[in-house]
Amino acid sequence: MNCPQCNSEMEQGFLQGRQRVAWVKKRHNFTLLPKPGEILLANNAFGDFLFPAWICKQCRMILLDYADKADCKG
């Protein structure tokens, strides 16, 4: 995977965190319920989430793969 900004090879790893994460168009309140066109990536009240992800530390850019998320909208 190449960085969309500087085009150099990105380092593969994972984006790991806890509870909820969503791609949103505008900042929501903390419930993070997705609106049309938005994507709820993880919703684990008590667990971790883990996504395959690539990082460019030069540009401070992360790309993540959410292909296995069945319940996404948009």
User: Where along the sequence are the contacts to Zn ion (CB under 5 A)?
Assistant: 3, 5-6, 56, 58-59
Q: Is 57 or 69 the residue whose CB approaches Zn ion more closely?
A: 57
* Minimum distance, C-beta of residue 4 to Zn ion, in the bound complex (Å): 8
Contacts (Cβ under 8 Å, ≥6 apart) of 42: 17, 19, 20, 21, 49, 51, 69
Q: Is 7 or 44 the residue whose CB approaches Zn ion more closely?
A: 7
The tokens for 55 are 């990082």
* Minimum distance, C-beta of residue 8 to Zn ion, in the bound complex (Å): 6
